[in-house]
Chain A
Amino acid sequence: GAGVSQSPSNKVTEKGKDVELRCDPISGHTALYWYRQSLGQGLEFLIYFQGNSAPDKSGLPSDRFSAERTGGSVSTLTIQRTQQEDSAVYLCASSPSTGGFQPQHFGDGTRLSIL
């Protein structure tokens, strides 16, 4: 597609349920990032994929969070046993690669609300 696509755009679920968020990056982009943004806050880095390299998971807040990227394209962020503090907008971004001038292109995000 023309841009980064994320689904669903909104997700409301009960505390304790598992959720899956999907990101479809720009075609040909090898780098993919997941961020979390709470209301009025900056971007919190979660995880980063670059090509076939092992992902950088250093930003994942707990072992309830995991992500995978299949075939170097689509990525899924999974949150198990959701808690109310997981409520936020989850943003996905992609870039052609890393290094130098490589701006990240963002999807519209998934607004996650935990009841």
Chain B
Amino acid sequence: GQNIDQPTEMTATEGAIVQINCTYQTSGFNGLFWYQQHAGEAPTFLSYNVLDGLEEKGRFSSFLSRSKGYSYLLLKELQMKDSASYLCAVSGSNYQLIWGAGTKLIIKP
């Protein structure tokens, strides 16, 4: 079957760095997306990886290893506004997204 796994919840300190992991098993692979979702709001697109390696975008970076079925989202210089759920989604063989349950990130002062 198809499966996306990510931790349910993580806690980090303002100003620190946090890494949110995502592992996947899917039939086909056409890229991996990370989305941010604040409570009560819609998900918003953060990053996309289709090739192995690190994609950096400001304070956020995303890494992909296709051979390991593994990705992580790295958030640097954490701010209180980064408190949100982070959703990992894989584009499978039919280009539809398979979604993880999300990781709730709690930032403490």
CB distance from B31 to the nearest CB of A (A): 7
Total interface residues in chain A, CB < 8 Å: 22
Instruction: Provide the main secondary structure of the chain A interface.
Output: loop
Closest chain B residue to A45 by CB distance? B96
User: Could you mark each residue 1-40 of chain B with 1 if its beta carbon is under 8 Å from any beta carbon of chain A, else 0?
Assistant: 0000000000000000000000000000011010000000
List A residues 87-115 near B (Cβ within 8 Å): 91, 98-109
The interface centre, meaning the residue of A40, A43, A56, A106 with most chain B CB atoms within 10 A of its CB, is: A43
Instruction: Provide the main secondary structure of the chain B interface.
Output: loop
The interface centre, meaning the residue of A91, A105, A106 with most chain B CB atoms within 10 A of its CB, is: A106
Is A42 a contact of B42 with CB atoms below 8 Å? Answer: no
CA distance A104 to B96 in the complex (A): 10
Is A100 a contact of B30 with CB atoms below 8 Å? Answer: yes
Closest chain B residue to A107 by CB distance? B42
Is B102 a contact of A42 with CB atoms below 8 Å? Answer: yes
Closest chain B residue to A43 by CB distance? B99
The interface centre, meaning the residue of B44, B50, B89, B96 with most chain A CB atoms within 10 A of its CB, is: B96
A65 at the interface (CB under 8 A from B): no
Is A99 a contact of B42 with CB atoms below 8 Å? Answer: no
Residues of B within 8 A of A48 (CB): 96
CB distance from A36 to the nearest CB of B (A): 11
CA distance A109 to B38 in the complex (A): 13
**Given known contacts A100-B50, A108-B41, A56 and B87 CB-to-CB distance under 8 angstroms:** no
User: Could you mark each residue 82-109 of chain B with 1 if its beta carbon is under 8 Å from any beta carbon of chain A, else 0?
Assistant: 0000010100001111011110100000
A–B pairs, 15, beta carbons within 8 Å: A33-B96, A42-B101, A42-B102, A43-B87, A43-B89, A43-B99, A45-B97, A56-B96, A99-B95, A102-B95, A103-B48, A104-B45, A106-B44, A107-B42, A108-B41
